Structure 1
């Protein structure tokens, strides 16, 4: 679905090239999330989220070898929305949207909204910012992909074993019945029926960006 997203993405590319990264906060351990805005129609990424993701792609160009496609998790949206998007940068369109979990440490009351982020071991929280996709492997969750944090807000991701994997607690039927999907321990968990497609399309050497 393009949603006039070709024009939106084109504008975002221009705007993103000149966007300056915000200065890091004083305390890098536990960060409050921005207040969640109401979800827009069509589960579309907000323009700001796209601009920030594309700016991150440019900012980390020396680390990101594959620049044709990026993953964007818009954690300003509720977990009952398809808030993870694969963005085809070359074609100028959003390829597909998916349900994705956030960490239970980011949402202690299980509201469906991210309340805070953390880079701390044992926090069970999601981290924000730019991740580099790494190798695929088969672990306790089945087929998975490792992630490397590129910024102060997420540079413990590899050591924390924050990865992309499938999970039974992320399911479209669950989202429909309960209005939200389940929470992870900080990983990006997807529907098991779709994890193979996601791992293939978001291969190694690409950007996964978390907006808030």
Structure 2
């Protein structure tokens, strides 16, 4: 009796093999032997693509914008299985950086800082965006994740701005990196995170997971609703 093999979807990302099993997703089994193969049909719509699957999530509206950006910048985004959302509607003390798996619907959420130029009074809330060099502000819109490198902050991931209001990201060295001022201890002491110079700064101990889940060639979408 013939045997059919199982297919497995290998979701790419730097260091993914080192992450918990919950972030790796396999394909379902093929039909058992002896059962006629059905006529090939279009791939089923992933469950998470249905609005009811995420309508109650706090990032649902931002995810809708990110999915539209995926379509708008499809030629620039090689991997469409996961997206990162920076929801600057929330205060810096909140978990407002979400990495969402568009196939399973699972998500991981993290702290992320905004730029000092976006919050001059250091209120803990992003007040405005800017794409201007020297502004020290966060820029909104769609980014493509790039290579991991080692610089003044240690490991970091380059970002390419895909829109006119964030297209200076590379020139401004806007990246994802770890920072000591992004932590629960900092929130306990100050009620908010510290501020970056426009970068997406996350907690140092969470950086390997963030970089591993993202990897190069995925979408990061930032906005304030």
TM-score category (smaller protein) = 0.7 to 0.9
Higher strand proportion (structure 1 or 2): 1
Matched, 1:46 2:59: yes
Q: Is the 8 A contact 1:165 1:195 kept in 2?
A: yes
| Equivalent in 135, 148, 152 of residue 136 of structure 1 | 148
- Tell me the secondary structure at the aligned position of residue 199 of structure 1: helix
| Equivalent in 163, 169, 172 of residue 181 of structure 2 | 169
- Tell me the secondary structure at the aligned position of residue 62 of structure 1: helix
Q: Is the 8 A contact 2:132 2:168 kept in 1?
A: yes
Once the two structures are TM-superposed, the CA of residue 173 in structure 1 deviates from its matched residue by 1.6
The 3 A distance-change label for structure 1 pair 12 and 205 is: farther
Matched, 1:93 2:128: no
The 3 A distance-change label for structure 1 pair 12 and 46 is: same
Rg comparison, structure with higher value: 2
Partner of 1:28: none
- Tell me the secondary structure at the aligned position of residue 54 of structure 1: helix
Q: Distance in 2 between matches of 1:49 and 1:75?
A: 10
Once the two structures are TM-superposed, the CA of residue 93 in structure 1 deviates from its matched residue by 2.6
Matched, 1:73 2:113: no
Structure 1's consecutive aligned runs of 4 or more residues displaced over 6 angstroms after TM superposition are none
Once the two structures are TM-superposed, the CA of residue 8 in structure 1 deviates from its matched residue by 7.1
**How many equivalent pairs are there?**
179
Once the two structures are TM-superposed, the CA of residue 58 in structure 1 deviates from its matched residue by 1.5
Matched, 1:63 2:76: yes
Of stretches 131-140 and 46-55 in structure 1, the one that deviates more from structure 2 is 46-55
Q: Distance in 1 between matches of 2:98 and 2:49?
A: 13
Q: Distance in 1 between matches of 2:52 and 2:76?
A: 21
Q: Distance in 1 between matches of 2:96 and 2:133?
A: 25
TM-score with structure 1 setting the length: 0.79
CA offsets 1:123-165 (integer angstroms, 9 cap, x no match)? 0000000000011000010000000000011000000000000
The 3 A distance-change label for structure 1 pair 105 and 12 is: farther
Once the two structures are TM-superposed, the CA of residue 92 in structure 1 deviates from its matched residue by 2.0
Of stretches 116-125 and 167-176 in structure 1, the one that deviates more from structure 2 is 167-176
Once the two structures are TM-superposed, the CA of residue 55 in structure 1 deviates from its matched residue by 1.1
Q: Is the 8 A contact 1:134 1:205 kept in 2?
A: yes
Superposition pairs of residues 22-37 of structure 1, within 5 angstroms: none
5+ residue gaps in structure 2? Answer: 1-45
Q: Is the 8 A contact 1:8 1:47 kept in 2?
A: no
| Equivalent in 6, 29, 51 of residue 11 of structure 1 | 51
- Tell me the secondary structure at the aligned position of residue 171 of structure 2: coil
Root-mean-square deviation (CA), in Å?
2.2
